[in-house]
């Protein structure tokens, strides 16, 4: 059985484990005040030009999202996202658990539009309604699409017009930045957002999300928010060592690129088989619409997610590739798809 279910099935890239093993007995400062976290931050900063950021390393996506939004929002403030937004659908109410409403807007192709933001603001204008104060977007999105620089710039402008903070969830940022459809850089993200994350969990790390904060007001006291939410690790250096490895010699981008290439091979097979897609496949998640018979056949040798029904005889399914996906695994799948 080969899994294309997600990109967090495999442990971690060997170079990461090697870095950990090499410093096995090294004594480090606790709580991320060590040289590895500093080094990892500096390596990430080297991509950001002269933008003054604070960088923190957290354990996972939901933890990062709830900590960041807690720091962004006052009790009655709300965050705007799409209906598919991870914080709206797949975090077991973690954001509401911190006291905040998620204003879910339709979005388009998985992406939040400037019009969505305008509408959410226009709908919530009095003291009897929540106060929209932040915008949440993901890149890649929950359905694998990516934002262009023009799109992100326009969102930033709308945020500025309405006094909204902008948070980009980069749980799959590697795949986004190495997508053929992408024209954004890390520096653009630091410039255009108030906070963005660089996901490690889904791109070769044991676990870990780097939180990059360019808004100086959010930089202040962010560590208090982390500790208060249980998001500060005694052995912060374990995350630091991993991001050190990922951003030394561009490993982070190489791993993501590999995942995207593997997905493209699957995409090509799907196109050849005549499968339509939920959305244009440009990243390491692709969503072909497949007939039930083929699905049943594929499920004998492969695992993947049934995303949502398309019609009576078809379903949208999700194939995900990762840094660890081997080409021979993909070829098996491609072969199976071709049999159709």
Q: Cβ-count burial of 114 within 10 angstroms (0-12 exposed, 13-18 middle, 19+ buried)? A: middle
Q: What tokens appear for 246 in the block?
A: 């990922």
Q: Does 180 bind its own copies (CB under 8 A)?
A: no
Please state, in angstroms and rounded to a whole number, the distance separating the CA atoms of residues 90 and 84.
Answer: 9
Among 43, 45, 70, 146, binds its own copies (CB under 8 A): 70
Q: Does 92 bind its own copies (CB under 8 A)?
A: yes
Contact 21, 217 (CB under 8 A): no
**By CB under 8 A, what part of segment 192-251 binds its own copies?**
201-202, 206-207, 221, 223-225, 227-235, 237-238, 241
User: Smallest gap, in angstroms, from Cβ of residue 286 to its own copies?
Assistant: 18
Q: Does 336 bind its own copies (CB under 8 A)?
A: no
Contact 264, 181 (CB under 8 A): no
User: Smallest gap, in angstroms, from Cβ of residue 338 to its own copies?
Assistant: 23
Residues in contact with its own copies, shown as a per-residue x/- string from 22 to 41 under the rule CB under 8 A: -xxxxxxxxx----------
Rg (CA), the chain: 20
Name the residue among 331, 323, 320 with its Cα closest to residue 3.
Answer: 320
Q: Cβ-count burial of 131 within 10 angstroms (0-12 exposed, 13-18 middle, 19+ buried)? A: middle
Stretch that binds its own copies, among 41-49, 85-93, 147-155, 274-282 (CB under 8 A): 85-93
The 10 Å Cβ neighbour count of residue 8 is 18
Contact 210, 198 (CB under 8 A): yes
Q: Does 162 bind its own copies (CB under 8 A)?
A: no
Among 45, 84, 101, 258, binds its own copies (CB under 8 A): 101
* Shorter beta-carbon distance to its own copies: residue 182 or 245: 245
**By CB under 8 A, what part of segment 293-332 binds its own copies?**
324, 326
* Shorter beta-carbon distance to its own copies: residue 48 or 195: 195
Q: What is the dihedral of CA 199, 200, 206, 211, to 10 degrees?
A: -70
User: Smallest gap, in angstroms, from Cβ of residue 138 to its own copies?
Assistant: 15
User: Smallest gap, in angstroms, from Cβ of residue 312 to its own copies?
Assistant: 18
Please state, in angstroms and rounded to a whole number, the distance separating the CA atoms of residues 185 and 190.
Answer: 9
Q: Does 65 bind its own copies (CB under 8 A)?
A: yes
User: Smallest gap, in angstroms, from Cβ of residue 31 to its own copies?
Assistant: 8
What is the chain's percent helix, strand, coil content, to nearest 5?
40, 20, 40
* Shorter beta-carbon distance to its own copies: residue 221 or 301: 221
* Shorter beta-carbon distance to its own copies: residue 48 or 210: 210
* Shorter beta-carbon distance to its own copies: residue 182 or 233: 233
Q: Does 14 bind its own copies (CB under 8 A)?
A: yes
Query: Which residue carries 């354990």 as its tokens?
Result: 59
Q: Judged by CB under 8 A, how many residues of this single chain contact its own copies?
A: 77
Using DSSP's 3-state secondary structure scheme, residue 320 falls into strand
Q: Does 338 bind its own copies (CB under 8 A)?
A: no
Please state, in angstroms and rounded to a whole number, the distance separating the CA atoms of residues 61 and 71.
Answer: 15
* Shorter beta-carbon distance to its own copies: residue 24 or 180: 24
* DSSP track, 69-86: HHHH--TTEEEEEETT-H
Stretch that binds its own copies, among 5-13, 176-184, 269-277, 293-301 (CB under 8 A): 5-13
* Shorter beta-carbon distance to its own copies: residue 48 or 102: 102
């Amino acid at each position: 059985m080969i899994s294309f279910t997600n990109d967090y099935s495999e442990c971690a890239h060997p170079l990461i484990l090697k870095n950990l093993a090499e410093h096995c007995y090294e004594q480090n400062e606790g709580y991320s005040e060590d040289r590895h976290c500093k080094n990892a931050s500096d390596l990430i900063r080297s991509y950001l030009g002269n933008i003054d950021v604070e960088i923190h390393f957290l354990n996972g996506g939901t933890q990062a999202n709830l900590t960041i939004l807690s720091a962004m929002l006052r009790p009655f403030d709300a965050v705007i996202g799409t209906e598919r937004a991870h914080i709206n659908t797949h975090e077991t109410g973690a954001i509401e658990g911190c006291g905040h409403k998620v204003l879910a807007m339709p979005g388009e192709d998985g992406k939040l539009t400037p019009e969505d933001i305008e509408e959410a603001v226009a709908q919530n204008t009095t003291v009897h309604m929540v106060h929209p104060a932040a915008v949440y977007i993901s890149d890649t999105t929950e359905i694998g699409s990516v934002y262009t620089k023009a799109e992100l710039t326009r969102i930033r402008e709308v945020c500025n017009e309405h006094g909204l903070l902008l948070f980009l969830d980069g749980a799959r940022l590697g795949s986004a930045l190495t997508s053929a459809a992408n024209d954004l850089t890390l520096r653009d993200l630091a410039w255009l957002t108030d906070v963005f994350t660089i996901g490690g969990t889904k791109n070769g790390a044991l676990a870990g999300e780097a939180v990059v904060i360019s808004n100086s007001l959010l930089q202040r006291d962010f560590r208090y928010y982390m500790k208060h939410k249980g998001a500060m690790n005694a052995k912060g250096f374990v995350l630091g060592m991993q991001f050190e490895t990922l951003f030394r010699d561009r490993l982070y981008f190489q791993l993501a690129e590999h995942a995207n290439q593997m997905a493209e091979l699957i995409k090509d097979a799907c196109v050849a088989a005549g499968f339509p897609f939920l959305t244009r496949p440009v990243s390491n998640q692709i969503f072909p619409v497949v007939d039930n018979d083929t699905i049943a056949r594929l499920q004998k040798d492969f695992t993947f997610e049934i995303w949502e029904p398309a019609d009576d005889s078809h379903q949208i399914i999700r194939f995900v590739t990762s840094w660890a996906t081997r080409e021979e695994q993909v070829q098996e799948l491609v072969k199976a798809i071709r049999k159709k």
